[in-house]
Amino acid sequence: MELHEQLQRLINLEIYASSLIETKDAMYFLGRRGTEKFVGSVGEGNLVGQKVGELDNKPIIVGPTDHANACAIRNALPWTAPGLVGLKKSIGMGDRLGIATPGHIRAVRSSGLTVLLAQQSIREMTRTGRSPDDVIDSTTWGALQEGFGDGFGSDADHLHTFEDVDSTVEAGFTMFTIDPGQYVDDAAETDDYSILKKKASSIDLSALETTLSDISSRYVGKTFDLGEIAISFDEGTFLRTFVKYARAVGHIVKMYRHLLTVAHKPFEVEVSIDETDSPTTPADHFFIVTEMKRLGVEWIAIAPRFVGRFEKGVDYIGDLDLFRASFAEHVRVMKAMGPYKISIHSGSDKFSIYPIAAELAGEYLHVKTAGTSYLEALRVIAAVEPDLFREIFDFALQCYETDKATYHVSANIEKIPPIDTITNDRLPGLIDDFNARQVLHVTYGSVLTAQNGEKFRSKILTTLKQYEELHYTNLEKHLRRHVKGLIGKDVSAL
């Protein structure tokens, strides 16, 4: 009889065979009874729980999968805690529901990609009612369940304030994505010369530790030969770049220096300037990284705002040849000024650009995807609980106009077929409709939070736990398409 089967008989708990891990002091495992999961140990472990039996004269302790026991597991099994990722090609997989990690692991296993399993923005945490601790803990349980000892990273995404930094540092995140988007002046793209001059003279440069005269003298009239690309600044180019990004760079510096004061272990930084209206030019990119270097900021990835439309939930919208040419220029700047990774945000199903990015950036590439996992969860709901899915969809339609405000989307709800005309067997296919997909993608917060009296959240979680393997299978199948695009081959063939 297998060990997990022996344990199951002793304690009436369905044990995940892959989770049985031995240390010098104890053996740990994860199990479930119904839809509830428990963590256990055999021997002198450090879990908080109750003795429920003995195996080979060693006590069997079973306890809840709560924060205290997640900390205990991370202490006993360090590979269940996130670590540093470095410059290896990587993919971040966000989990808005807190139960997707096993599916994420199955999608990347044997791919050669480094995975960041605990990836969530403060915006997403707020909208789903989750805390930084919740995000880290859920990946710990997923890693234990799958016996995933390859290591993984974590990403405190789109951080705007010192408070954002403090809470995610305390929870144990290892990568911090600084988002200075609110300080980017998109109007600088179209401002005339006189307005640019006026704006430039009013910018507080204390965080940049320079003066307008000094910083101008370092760029204006200069051409920077970067080998594969040359960046030139006449006065107009400099003013446009400076006005657009000077305050943003100052915010990056402040956030980075705050991180240095509060972090109690090594960390990594990504800089995100992707959620802006206008594309980042090679000159913009060069200016930002040059100033960050001058001011002592260290980073492993930068997310420019690329040409084209990076809307949520759908593939890239734009000219692929133009994207290739623009992306190649960013890679040239990166190679001269780095190396560091070029990061693609809003990576939910940007399948058409993955081969281009992988070819041009090589190992220096990071992709983030989050909402697509939530959509795959809803696909399961549509298949097994069609009435619940219909309720969720009707509710999402009501919330769309409000919820879309902070996202780049263009769904037209008038083009979505009335859901009462769609038969149950065709409901999962609605997830693939461009307009319906975006509606569901950006309304997750309204659907999942307590604002609606937990009308949907508990039902969604209960259903997905009941159909756990179907949920994991859907995630693995869909996310392997992302992996294939990034490594150029199907993981299942490895």
The whole-number average pLDDT for the span 192-220 is 98
DSSP 92: E
Which of 137, 191, 270, 284 does the annotation list as catalytic?
270
Give the pLDDT of residue 491.
65
Sequence-distant contacts of 361-365: CB under 8 A, at least 24 apart = 361/327, 361/331, 361/334, 362/89, 363/87, 363/88, 363/89, 364/87, 364/89, 364/331, 364/334, 364/335, 364/338, 364/339, 364/340, 365/89, 365/90, 365/341, 365/486
Per-residue pLDDT tens over the stretch 93-146: 999 999 999 999 999 999 999 999 999 999 899 988 899 999 999 999 999 999
Per-residue pLDDT tens over the stretch 269-309: 999 999 888 999 999 999 999 999 999 999 999 999 999 99
Give the pLDDT of residue 493.
57
Active site residue 191: no
The CB density around residue 166, as the number of other CB atoms within 10 Å, is 14
At residue 450, does pLDDT exceed 80? no
Geometric angle at alpha carbon 113, from 111 and 116, rounded to 5°: 125
How far from chain centre, in Å, is Cα 71?
Answer: 22
Query: Which H or E run contains 40?
Result: strand 36-43
Going from N- to C-terminal start, the domains of the chain cover 3-76, 81-185+224-371, 375-478
At residue 80, does pLDDT exceed 70? yes
Measured CA to CA, the distance from residue 7 to residue 32 in angstroms comes to 12
At residue 453, does pLDDT exceed 60? no
Structure confidence at residue 438 as a pLDDT band (50, 70, 90) = very high
- Note whether 363 and 327 are within 8 A (CB): no
Measured CA to CA, the distance from residue 41 to residue 434 in angstroms comes to 47
Give the pLDDT of residue 153.
98
Which of 137, 157, 284, 403 does the annotation list as catalytic?
157
Give the pLDDT of residue 38.
98
Per-residue pLDDT tens over the stretch 337-383: 999 999 999 878 999 999 999 999 999 999 999 899 999 999 999 99
Global confidence as pTM: 0.96
How far from chain centre, in Å, is Cα 258?
Answer: 22
- Note whether 482 and 352 are within 8 A (CB): no
Give the pLDDT of residue 1.
60
- How many residues make up the chain in this entry? 494
DSSP states of 395-417 as a string? HHHHHHHHHGGGS-----GGGSP
Query: Is 262 strand, coil or helix?
Result: helix
Measured CA to CA, the distance from residue 55 to residue 41 in angstroms comes to 10
**Percent of the chain, pLDDT > 90?**
91
Q: Where do the DSSP E strands lie in 47-152?
A: 50-55, 58-64, 90-94, 114-121
At residue 489, does pLDDT exceed 90? no
Query: Over the chain, what is the mean pLDDT?
Result: 95
Q: Tell me how far CA of residue 240 lies from CA of 83, 246, 327, 337, 363, in angstroms.
A: 39, 10, 21, 21, 32
Active site residue 403: no
The CB density around residue 340, as the number of other CB atoms within 10 Å, is 20
The whole-number average pLDDT for the span 386-390 is 97
The whole-number average pLDDT for the span 414-442 is 96
- Note whether 135 and 125 are within 8 A (CB): yes
Query: Which H or E run contains 343?
Result: strand 341-344
Q: Taking phi first (over 0 means left), then psi (-120 to 50 degrees means alpha), and beta for anything else, what does residue 115 get?
A: beta
- Sequence-separated (6 or more) residues with CB below 8 Å from residue 377: 97, 100, 460, 464, 471, 474, 475
Tell which residue, 272, 289, 268, has the closest CA to residue 336. Answer: 289
Quick one: CATH architecture of 81-185+224-371?
Alpha-Beta Barrel (3.20)
Measured CA to CA, the distance from residue 80 to residue 152 in angstroms comes to 8
At residue 492, does pLDDT exceed 80? no
Measured CA to CA, the distance from residue 121 to residue 274 in angstroms comes to 14
Give the pLDDT of residue 406.
82
